[in-house]
Structure 1
Amino acid sequence: MSNFNFGTIAQELHDVQEEGLSFEDKQLTWDTAEDVADIVKALETTKVVHYLKLGGNTLGIDAAAAIAKGLEKHPEFHKALWYNMFSRRLKTETPLSLKHLGNGLMVAGAKLTVLDLSDNALGPNGMVGLEDLLRSPVVYSLQTLRLNNCGLGIGGGQMLSKAILDCHKSSVAAGTPLKLKVFIAGRNRLENDGAKAIAKIFSTLKTLEEIAMPQNSIYHVGIAALASGFKENPNLRILNLNDNTVTEKGAASLAEAFAYTPMLQDINFGDCLLKTHGAYHFAEALSENHNQLEVVDLGFNEIGADGGVVLAEALQNKTNLKRLNLDGNQFGYEGRERVKEIIETFANPNALESLEEDQSECDDDEDEDGDDDDEEDDDDEEDDTTEEVDEDEEYQDEDADEEGDEAYITSPAFTTNMFGANDTFMSAKNVQFVEQATPAKPVTVESFCLSQKPCTIQAFESLQETDKLKAFKNIVEQFTDDNRLLLLIFTTLKCAHLSESSPAALDLAKALYKETVDYAVETKQERRVLNYMLMQLGLLRSEEKFTSPYDLKSCRYALRETLKSNPQFGSEHMRNAFNVFLKELDG
């Protein structure tokens, strides 16, 4: 007998029978009631309107009020397809426009099944315009909520959670409990606290079948909260947390949740920094059950060869598997061949996508120990910045301001060794910071290098050594491994801190930037050093925020000058990454 999905067929038949209006992608600016007269007329003259598409235009307050009046006549309305319709609007306009539209639906007594407001720069401010609608009987019937790329932030995520939970409570009291099935909220800067709030929705509703929250700067703490929510949704089929920083800790929480979600068909944890031990957790959790898996994306996760082999073996019995992405990990040549051999035994060996892109430093000598070295510090790394909706410039928060360094800086503090060495950075030789040179307490090369804070220009100029670069290197070379690397990084930053006011400091900063990246290349630590330097320069976010003691504008200036004056600076990958992040900041 054929494997027909009767639920899908019924939905398709239902969709064919739907009637609605579409004004999408006309690239029109609707400011006044007159501007939307044709929409209002269509709403007034069309007997049945199940949906209204407005995306690809820009809607103002008066125009929204006029459309809302037309919607009041349609209690049968159930799909609000209002994505990408507030571009170039002030942050004061969007909430009022949404309030009008929501009021129109409430007056009509509509029963929404789909609400799509993706690609609108809502933020917490925009959520104010949605709160009444989300708490009303209009959404008791809601099945799909799409808020992708809306810039909600932590505050917006918390507001959304509270509104949905309030709606659920009142819907239960009314005898028609909210049964949300699809929740899409990628690229919203939710971070850990926003994720914790959203997790409460999942734990309470227990009806989710699809959850997509990629690119939200969520770390293992937030992932653990979400995993607790996933456990309460046994019918979960599609799960996408791509490009969040899951790490081994988050993978352990998710693996535990997988035991409660046997219906999974499509999982996407690409670019989540799972590493080899995270792969072990996933493999163990997925090996026994989850026979309905069709799509598994675990690409670009720094998984070593053993992790790849274990995953492949765990998926051997998934006869429905159609697509498997393990590309961009650290298998090495032999590891890739081992993985391919196992997948050749699959029911569908063609499920494996390309394994051509490998991030191994050396194909035939994979360093599995590297997965453990910085496991405790994975929380401070993130591979990419998210490109949020920026259409509403007045909405953009302080995170986008070059001078708003505290919002971006994400490594804990100078004394925290992100590489997992001693708790106190070079505690045996740590000296007190010298604010400025005095006869009683002159600054020395050693105190300059080993202090935990930047130096004043007066103290820097009081250094007696003619060849300061050589003197600094002599201090640095007394240390080994991660201590040496950290000392290089922060000595560089201390010189770069002064680079805009001292040509000598700039020259030293440029030389030290080169020393640092050369050492990273030499020791095969480009990725971790790149990420850490980007974080220290305020160019890449991480979980823990702190106030940098350095003049980051000056530090970035020194890096720009280094890149200009040295076309062969570091590796091509590091040069490109620095240039991209600096250009993004300038843009």
Structure 2
Amino acid sequence: MSSFDLNDLGAQLEDVAESNASSGVSFAKQSLKLDTEEDALEIVKAIRACTNLEYLDLEGNTLGPLAAKAVAQALQENGSLMKRALWKDMFTGRVKTEIPKALEYLGSALCIAGTRLFELDLSDNAFGPIGIKGLANFLTSSSCYTLRVLRLNNNGLGISGGKMLAKALLDCYDNSTQGGSPPLALQVFVAGRNRLENEGAKALASVFQKLTSLEEVVMPQNGIYHEGITAIANGLSSNPRLRVLNLNDNTVGLKGAQAIAKALPNFKNLEQLNLGDCLLKTQGGIVLAEALGVQGGYPLLTELNLSYNEIGTKGANPLALAVADKEHLITLQLDGNLFGQTGRTILRDSLTVSERIGSLSILSDNSDDEDDDDEDSNDDEENIKENEEENEEENEESDEKDDESEDENKKNRDNNKHAFINDTALSKVTVAEFLKSPIGEKLLLLQGDVIQDFVNYAKEVSKHSKNTSSKLKFIEEFTRIIMKVSALSTSGYIDVRLKSQNLTDALYSKLCFFAMQSNQVPTWNNALLVNLGLIKAEDKNSGKIDWNLEGCFKALEIVSQKDYFLQEIRTTLIFFLQKPIRMNKMKVVDSFQHSKDSLKTVLCRIQNT
């Protein structure tokens, strides 16, 4: 097959322009390394020249304390109208001692300017608890009394950082009520991938209980068990306007499911509930299904994710019945459970009758066959009784034994999810060594500025290209790097999976920006299709695909929803994903069809919104 020209397809597309009434300054994703005040001069000039500075977007650059001080001075002079501080991924390569100082400069400047922030986004800055120390005074200041959106995703806060954040927000609430000012009314709170665990979750739950204004709470991958989940559910119960709740990849279990089910009636406007990969098991799934299935309840529900929860056959019908009257349901994710053939048939038949079958995503299954599934279902119930302390006896000694049993199971589960860290010698691996043998063990041992190391590697390879231009060779090589990294995004080890997903996101962002800046989008498009096996390479020496395409497709489900991902590429992918594989004019079985269909569903949904 010949290469595909994106321009031919692009000419047929409507050019949809997004209008944005707000004005401000953006240096987003320019990969600027700003160490000194002189380095920040361009940003300083832009801030001072903006007559209506409503936002400052510095995502994807790196600021040292001196550069932050210069930016802060400009904000102090012209930041009074600022509403949005968009400061994601702003300290790459900085040592931890630099970050608090930079944050203090920026926060103090906004306070002096009399800023009243609406949104603060500091996601993807791995500043840990020490970063919250640098933010604490700012978060309790009058500049944050008006805060409605707080995004602190992937900051490595840990338990202590979570507690410090909770105290700062509680102080902000108390301070805002003094002097007749309206109290803090936070609407969106995002704090995923922060290792908050139970104690951090409990601290933040006390904030939720006090606020009563939350509409969206996103806290996936935090190592929270049922105690923390119960605290969160209880705290959120005082927030009747809650629309979105995402606790993906925490250990909710039966007790956590019961707490959430108890809180659900408070959320009449619930639109999205994401409890994927939460070890609900069969009984936990049934408990939630019964809560969601109340007649006439949750009429605005558009998305329900209960995937990868080890839910057995007995949970299939209750789940199908739970969404039967949800007329606005768009996405129902139940893949990766243990329904077996019988359960999958029940689900599809019941959803067909209720006319909700269109919302069901790809329904993969982790059980081998129907008989095994029935056994798994029975084991689920027995394990839940043991692991979730389901005994109703009021014997204190029995409860203690159950606690010990559950703690042991938690440790075993965590050890399985983090096996590479425990079994691997802590020696540094270079990107060249990883690319030669791209396994999860080596991915975890990549250290330093890994993204830049990958960029440098691709540049070095492209220098030695004789038959193609350096830009073309760079894009081809960098695309192959992304494939090898993203192929690990479906690893069974959470450490590997998370690192793969984070690196994949950053690498795609880099490549997208480079392709646009160098007018090489068609080249990137062609390289992506070739390395996904969707078209044949014209160069027979380009090498075989020796990476796991399932991981690559799954990773694209995530990154294709990012703002940086080009709409032209989405449209091209849809076009080729729906074309069957043929060999000698004969249609053949595609082993990756499920993954392709799942990606296509996501892409089509994005295109239709």
Name the structure 1 match of 2:168: 163
CA contact (8 A) 2:420 2:493 kept: no
CA deviation after TM superposition for structure 1 residue 15, in Å:
7.4
Name the structure 1 match of 2:238: 232
CA deviation after TM superposition for structure 1 residue 581, in Å:
6.8
Corresponding residue to 2:87 among 61, 65, 82: 82
Corresponding residue to 1:326 among 334, 351, 360: 334
Name the structure 1 match of 2:540: none
1:137 aligns with 2:142: yes
Name the structure 2 match of 1:345: 353
- State the identity %: 42
CA contact (8 A) 1:373 1:419 kept: no
Supply the AA of the counterpart residue of 2:341: Y
Q: Higher mean Cα deviation, 339-348 or 62-71?
A: 339-348
C-alpha change, 1:235 and 1:581, in structure 2 (3 Å) is closer
- Report the Cα distance in structure 2 between the residues aligned to 1:540 and 1:281, rounded to whole angstroms: 34
Deviations along 1:398-438, one digit per CA (max 9) or x if unpaired, are: xxxxxxxxxxxxxx99x966699xxxxxxxxxxxxxxxxxx
1:447-486 map, 5 Å: none
Corresponding residue to 2:26 among 8, 22, 27: 22
Corresponding residue to 2:55 among 30, 33, 51: 51
Deviations along 1:189-208, one digit per CA (max 9) or x if unpaired, are: 00000000110111000000
Name the structure 2 match of 1:300: 308
CA contact (8 A) 2:323 2:356 kept: no
Name the structure 2 match of 1:402: none
1:416-431 map, 5 Å: none
- Report the Cα distance in structure 2 between the residues aligned to 1:336 and 1:197, rounded to whole angstroms: 40
Indicate the structure (1 or 2) with the bigger Cα radius of gyration.
1
- Report the Cα distance in structure 1 between the residues aligned to 2:317 and 2:497, rounded to whole angstroms: 38
SS of residue in 2 equivalent to 1:115: strand
Name the structure 2 match of 1:363: 370
What TM-score, normalized by structure 1, do the two folds share? 0.64
CA contact (8 A) 2:146 2:184 kept: yes
C-alpha change, 1:291 and 1:51, in structure 2 (3 Å) is same
Deviations along 1:204-244, one digit per CA (max 9) or x if unpaired, are: 00000000000000000000000001111100001100000
CA deviation after TM superposition for structure 1 residue 361, in Å:
3.9
CA contact (8 A) 1:319 1:346 kept: no
CA contact (8 A) 1:210 1:239 kept: yes
- Report the Cα distance in structure 1 between the residues aligned to 2:53 and 2:325, rounded to whole angstroms: 47
Name the structure 1 match of 2:122: 117
CA deviation after TM superposition for structure 1 residue 360, in Å:
1.5
CA contact (8 A) 1:240 1:268 kept: yes
CA deviation after TM superposition for structure 1 residue 284, in Å:
1.4
Supply the AA of the counterpart residue of 2:384: E
CA contact (8 A) 2:325 2:354 kept: yes
- Report the Cα distance in structure 1 between the residues aligned to 2:496 and 2:216, rounded to whole angstroms: 33
C-alpha change, 1:582 and 1:218, in structure 2 (3 Å) is closer
Name the structure 2 match of 1:309: 317
SS of residue in 2 equivalent to 1:49: coil
Supply the AA of the counterpart residue of 1:21: V
SS of residue in 2 equivalent to 1:324: strand
SS of residue in 2 equivalent to 1:145: strand
- Report the Cα distance in structure 1 between the residues aligned to 2:19 and 2:107, rounded to whole angstroms: 23
CA contact (8 A) 2:418 2:495 kept: no
- Report the Cα distance in structure 1 between the residues aligned to 2:292 and 2:67, rounded to whole angstroms: 51
CA contact (8 A) 1:56 1:84 kept: yes
Name the structure 2 match of 1:557: none
SS of residue in 2 equivalent to 1:267: strand
Deviations along 1:111-143, one digit per CA (max 9) or x if unpaired, are: 100000000012110101100110000011100
1:211 aligns with 2:217: yes
CA deviation after TM superposition for structure 1 residue 362, in Å:
2.7
- Report the Cα distance in structure 1 between the residues aligned to 2:497 and 2:151, rounded to whole angstroms: 32
Supply the AA of the counterpart residue of 1:166: D
CA contact (8 A) 1:219 1:379 kept: no
1:372 aligns with 2:377: no
Q: Higher mean Cα deviation, 216-225 or 314-323?
A: 314-323
SS of residue in 2 equivalent to 1:259: helix
SS of residue in 1 equivalent to 2:370: coil
Name the structure 1 match of 2:436: none
Supply the AA of the counterpart residue of 1:250: G
Deviations along 1:29-72, one digit per CA (max 9) or x if unpaired, are: 10111001011111112211100011111100000000001001
Q: Higher mean Cα deviation, 304-313 or 238-247?
A: 304-313
Where is the helix percentage greater, Structure 1 or Structure 2?
2
- Report the Cα distance in structure 2 between the residues aligned to 1:341 and 1:317, rounded to whole angstroms: 15
C-alpha change, 1:369 and 1:353, in structure 2 (3 Å) is same
CA deviation after TM superposition for structure 1 residue 539, in Å:
3.1
- Report the Cα distance in structure 2 between the residues aligned to 1:327 and 1:582, rounded to whole angstroms: 18
1:535 aligns with 2:434: no
CA deviation after TM superposition for structure 1 residue 304, in Å:
0.7
Supply the AA of the counterpart residue of 2:369: C
C-alpha change, 1:579 and 1:346, in structure 2 (3 Å) is closer
| Aligned Cα root-mean-square deviation (Å) | 3.3
4+ residue runs over 6 A deviation? 551-554, 578-584
C-alpha change, 1:267 and 1:63, in structure 2 (3 Å) is same
Supply the AA of the counterpart residue of 1:307: G
Supply the AA of the counterpart residue of 1:111: R
1:31 aligns with 2:35: yes
CA deviation after TM superposition for structure 1 residue 378, in Å:
4.4
Name the structure 2 match of 1:96: 101
SS of residue in 2 equivalent to 1:160: helix
Name the structure 2 match of 1:263: 269
CA contact (8 A) 1:539 1:581 kept: no
Supply the AA of the counterpart residue of 2:178: A
- Report the Cα distance in structure 1 between the residues aligned to 2:93 and 2:168, rounded to whole angstroms: 27
- Report the Cα distance in structure 1 between the residues aligned to 2:31 and 2:21, rounded to whole angstroms: 28
Unaligned residue ranges in structure 2 (runs of 5+): 1-16, 390-399, 426-440, 442-487, 504-609
C-alpha change, 1:216 and 1:370, in structure 2 (3 Å) is same
CA deviation after TM superposition for structure 1 residue 578, in Å:
7.9
CA deviation after TM superposition for structure 1 residue 536, in Å:
8.0
Supply the AA of the counterpart residue of 2:251: T
Instruction: State how many pairs are aligned.
Output: 405
What TM-score, normalized by structure 2, do the two folds share? 0.62
CA deviation after TM superposition for structure 1 residue 376, in Å:
5.2
- Report the Cα distance in structure 2 between the residues aligned to 1:281 and 1:363, rounded to whole angstroms: 23
